[in-house]
Amino acid sequence: QVFIMNHFLTNPVASIDSAMMVNPYAVLEPHVSQCQTDRAQIPNFVTVDFYEVGDVVRVVDELNGFPTPP
């Protein structure tokens, strides 16, 4: 099964300001972890708006088993 986790706000459309609220590690990582726990499956895809805003790459790297370098 493909597990796609949506993580974005649209009010009424995507914006960088909204991404700045939901893409930081402290918001995104707990959401990913909770979804993984609830579904007993690692998300295959994490969909976000403005992946370059916040810590999306860090969270996905950790999800894929690549630790954050010191």
Is the entire prediction scored with pTM above 0.85?
A: yes
Residue 41 phi, psi dihedral angles, 5° rounding: -155, 140
pLDDT tens track of the chain, all 70 residues?
899 999 999 888 999 999 999 999 999 999 999 999 999 999 999 999 999 999 999 999 999 999 877 6
Mark out the alpha helices in the chain (DSSP H runs): 16-22, 25-39, 56-63
- State how far the Cα of 63 lies from the Cα of 16, in Å rounded to an integer: 24
d(C-alpha 69, C-alpha 8), whole Å = 26
